[in-house]
Structure 1
Amino acid sequence: MTTVMVCGTTGKMGREVVKAVTKDPELTLIGGIDPSAAGEDLGLAAGIDKLGIQIDASLTDALTKRKPDVIVDFTTPAIIFENAKTVLEAGVHMVIGTTGLTAEQRAELATICERTGANCLVAPNFSLGAVMLMKTAAELAPYFPDVEIIELHHNHKYDAPSGTAVLTAKLINEAKEAAQVKASEDKTRESLPGARGAKVDDVTIHSVRLPGYVAHQEVLFGGYDETLTLRHDSLSRLSFMPGVVLACKKIKEKKGLVYGLEHYL
């Protein structure tokens, strides 16, 4: 049995994680952290039956009382790095769904993992379909090196472009570099700065932020007299829960810091 705490319990993702963990027979929920709901019952705060578990105000408070096998974090980019250092320094495994960690910060967290023996998964996307899209895009990239990404999210998302889009672009660029292929020259000149989107090495990303969307991504490939489009749609936050549950169960086996859920499949 794997014991779990959830950091950011009253957020939209945090509430779904609480529900998913309580439903899984191989996981045991033992705590939650959220300063905005400190002292409240964890189950009631998540919209389910009372669990008899009081929400803690901080990670420090929670870890002083009890030490779980893994902490799942869905908070904000502003605090995720400090949260991760606190958890990993305590020798607790961590599943991170919060975006905003830089490559340098991930490297520092990896060093902590090596020293403490705690494992960490940083996943831009927990949807199994989204992960399959990324893997497929990387496989197609050597044959279709001209590619752009459109990602669409709700207008309350903290960052742009999404972590999923950035990772997709990274995997595409790595596949093209390995195959020694490049995109054809883009001769377009912007009459309005930013009209062509943002570049991640050789891949352009366009971010859409509008009410009504949840999480969506298109990868558009252009070829000789043909185009190929991959698209994934998360219709609700429930689509991320199988990936979160899988990560909680497998994190003990995956040593160090791992970036991307695809390494758990």
Structure 2
Amino acid sequence: MSQNIKVAVAGASGRMGREVVKMVLADSQLTLVAATDRSTKNMDAGRLVGLEPCGVMVTNDLELALVESQPDVLVDFTAPQSAVSNTRLAIRHKVRPVIGTTGFTPQDIQDLDNQCKEKGIGGLIAPNFSIGAILMMKFAAQAAKYFPHLEIIEYHGDQKLDAPSGTSVKTAELISEVRKELRQGNPDEEETIEGSRGGYYNGFRIHSVRLPGVFAQQEVIFGAFGQSLKIRHDSYDRAGYMPGVNVAIKKVMEYSGLVYGFEHFID
């Protein structure tokens, strides 16, 4: 791609935001034109991430940054309570949103899709940008055709706000596209401790583990007579998401409307 894409990063001083800034600065096809954060301002974005100054100062006013820098894409890994409004703001200014924050409702996604189409721009909301995680989801959906009895276990750090994770919900949605609802287990089973069987989704269960020292893992366990199958993905570092974010920034330029799920951007 010869086109140079102008990128703004919301939540630039966050753990994911810093990785996005570093990735954008390292790619000659991308240009960082704005970086915003509620808690940091008047600091060069390059210095913020431990690099040489890049000439882009971090500000806490997203709308002003979008107006002044006129980016092509806004990358947002902020909190759920701000991501929806940030996405609406970006679309209003014809900036393509690439959102890695979970917490959007189906109605939010539909409304934002309509807004993108009205403006003639593309957008992406993705629960997970890890290419390995996307493959895990695809393999799980494929396996569910033959192993309809399954459970999902996802592991994250104890400070994660939402449960189950957006990745596990997306995995469940993909599985449910190819698997009819099947209520698993003994029909007379009874929880002696409420919630011990996990969250119910279309007949199977999702279990959320929250512990300090854990980063991000997920496994889908399939059971059948005389055998079982486990499909697992482990993330060890936030840098592992950046190849996917890089692909998303470039691919979103080719779309009209809001896409839900990074799997649509890879073959």
Same fold (TM over 0.5): yes
Match of 1:46 among 41, 46, 49: 49
Query: What TM-score do you get using the length of structure 2 for normalisation?
Result: 0.95
Counterpart residue number, 1:146? 149
Match of 1:62 among 60, 65, 69: 65
SS at match of 2:253: coil
1:108 matched to 2:111? The reply is yes
CA distance in 2, matches of 1:91, 1:230: 40
8 Å CA contact 1:121, 1:258 repeated in 2: yes
- CA RMSD, 1 decimal: 1.2
Q: CA deviation at 1:63?
A: 1.4
Q: CA deviation at 1:38?
A: 1.6
1:182 matched to 2:182? The reply is yes
**Per-residue Cα deviation, 1:101-160 (whole angstroms, up to 9, x for no partner):** 111111110110111112110000000000000001111111111110000011121211
Amino acid paired to 1:155: D
Percent pairwise identity:
45
8 Å CA contact 2:184, 2:204 repeated in 1: no
Q: CA deviation at 1:85?
A: 0.5
SS at match of 1:65: helix
1:198 matched to 2:203? The reply is no
Counterpart residue number, 2:262? 261
1:236 matched to 2:237? The reply is yes
Counterpart residue number, 1:245? 246
1:27 matched to 2:45? The reply is no
Distance 1:182 1:200, change over 3 A: closer
Instruction: Could you tell me which runs of 5 or more consecutive residues in structure 2 were left unpaired when the two chains were aligned.
Output: none
Q: CA deviation at 1:201?
A: 2.1
CA distance in 1, matches of 2:215, 2:138: 21
CA distance in 2, matches of 1:47, 1:104: 39
Amino acid paired to 1:172: I
Match of 1:13 among 11, 16, 23: 16
8 Å CA contact 2:172, 2:201 repeated in 1: yes
CA distance in 1, matches of 2:203, 2:170: 13
Counterpart residue number, 2:86? 83
Mean alpha-carbon deviation: is it higher for 122-131 or for 57-66?
57-66
Query: What TM-score do you get using the length of structure 1 for normalisation?
Result: 0.96
CA distance in 1, matches of 2:256, 2:67: 25
CA distance in 2, matches of 1:186, 1:165: 24
1:227 matched to 2:223? The reply is no
Mean alpha-carbon deviation: is it higher for 39-48 or for 224-233?
39-48
Q: CA deviation at 1:240?
A: 0.3
